Structure 1
């Protein structure tokens, strides 16, 4: 079945949806995006994603063409039109099509381009990988210095992900100055002595919507959380490790650069956090 996608206010069959070759998202990677998970036909943490979208747009001095209510209606329309039970909705806003290519921002009045589409993913909450955990490698972090803005500049994370796949593992953690920043598309954590450790927010990492929710749930469950940097060596000596993202939720990590984490099995902290996250997100879904 052909998907229905959203392009600048229109709902179109995917094979009829087009964006100009002069769009700055295509020419300059001048755009931002969000990915909202769908469980049982409802949106998870929608408000958090829209707030981060606005922050990303503000940081790039880009106009937001839609209100939160308009984004919500479009997301719900796409769920209905595509019959999505479990899956994802990808949302991208670019600076639009000013005409000829130019490094300088276009004049005021150029309307941003908005694109949204769905991806069906059956059993999102019951991902079997959560029972076995991911194996990851470390690679040097060569991205630009404003990783807190969720831009469409994803070439290096893609290269890192492909290196991980080529080496027979699930993902890579990016390392800068000897310290883990984050995963290719997720935030990174270790657990040591019942303390959850994750890098503090800054321009160096994405301010994960799922990260914020999971840390809130951890605090409510009276789990100790420490926001600081850590090394790969410290990770390898940890009791547990895991990542969080909108699509993976809480995903245990059982191996880093060939070294087993703890027992080499999925641990109780990551397991419990995933259970809490899914339960609480289902309650709050819209």
Structure 2
């Protein structure tokens, strides 16, 4: 399998990360995960633009244009003859002796590889369980950084509890999942946290809200209290690899009737998105 290593395509077994790479030592970098459907990188432009934006927010200056990065990722998919799967791309600040501060002459290190993705058909059909966790992350969750330790810890806690996701609560209000955006259907209205510094404005989230608007679904980007969440008629999550998945149980309590709801089923049914030609 070929991987992208800075400007070159090399064999995966030849890829090496320097022990003094700041991504390895500090998590000093950013990343993106892009879904591939039928050999096409879905929402490639949106993902690459966000990668550049995240890098800029933490002071990493990427050379070249967004379009150059897009072309390299297309070549990577072609090299590996990937039909359905995903691409992981990571940018670190560079290699330097280990200390917290850094110089301005570092060269960003770029790596990317493809992987297979199994469509979560069972989860989309039957729904999944979730737990509630306190959101103790830093306050720039809008930056897709490599610093995912707390997300990992809470995702593991969910897994050990037999759940698919941990829904994070900050100051009594839902922010997002450890690796997903969260939506609740309350009195027929789809509600989700505003796109500010407390959540990552997911690319799938953006597309989903576009579909909701065009299909006439009532949507409000507003905070959801923990109490409102637990009393919601339907709850679902979205992400690049999960697409849209219903939550049917939280902390052992059923959501609504304990089965995927009518509105949620409209979004997990891929035919809707194939028809409008934008997603999944």
TM-score by length of 1: 0.92
* 2:117 is the counterpart of 1:118: no
* 2:224 is the counterpart of 1:227: no
1:246 corresponds to: 240
Q: What displacement does 1:145 show? A: 1.2
Q: Which has the higher contact order (CA 8 A, sep 6+)?
A: 1
Question: In 1, distance between residues paired with 2:181 and 2:278?
Answer: 22
1:87 corresponds to: 85
Q: 1:94 to 1:79 in 2, by over 3 A?
A: same
SS in structure 1 opposite 2:129?
Answer: strand
Contact 2:45 2:70 in 1 (8 A): no
Aligned length: 278
Please, which of 258, 270, 274 is the counterpart of residue 279 of structure 1?
A: 274
Matches within 5 A, 1:153-192: 153-192=147-186
Contact 1:29 1:152 in 2 (8 A): yes
Question: In 2, distance between residues paired with 1:96 and 1:103?
Answer: 13
Question: In 2, distance between residues paired with 1:277 and 1:117?
Answer: 30
Unaligned runs of 5+ in 1: none
2:201 corresponds to: 207
Question: In 1, distance between residues paired with 2:79 and 2:117?
Answer: 16
* 2:143 is the counterpart of 1:145: no
Contact 1:139 1:173 in 2 (8 A): yes
Question: In 1, distance between residues paired with 2:166 and 2:178?
Answer: 6
Question: In 1, distance between residues paired with 2:244 and 2:21?
Answer: 35
Contact 1:38 1:87 in 2 (8 A): yes
* 2:102 is the counterpart of 1:105: yes
Question: In 2, distance between residues paired with 1:231 and 1:164?
Answer: 20
Unaligned runs of 5+ in 2: none
SS in structure 2 opposite 1:128?
Answer: helix
Matches within 5 A, 1:20-39: 20-39=18-37
Contact 2:184 2:233 in 1 (8 A): yes
Q: What displacement does 1:233 show? A: 2.4
SS in structure 1 opposite 2:249?
Answer: strand
Question: In 2, distance between residues paired with 1:284 and 1:226?
Answer: 21
Question: In 1, distance between residues paired with 2:272 and 2:41?
Answer: 14
Q: 1:255 to 1:112 in 2, by over 3 A?
A: same
Q: What displacement does 1:8 show? A: 0.9
2:49 corresponds to: 51
Q: Aligned Cα RMSD in Å?
A: 1.7
* 2:127 is the counterpart of 1:130: no
Question: In 1, distance between residues paired with 2:49 and 2:186?
Answer: 32
Q: Deviations over 1:56-102 (max 9, x none)?
A: 112112111342222222222222222211111001111111x3122
Q: What displacement does 1:4 show? A: 1.6
SS in structure 1 opposite 2:199?
Answer: coil
Question: In 2, distance between residues paired with 1:247 and 1:106?
Answer: 36
Question: In 1, distance between residues paired with 2:39 and 2:112?
Answer: 16
SS in structure 1 opposite 2:158?
Answer: helix
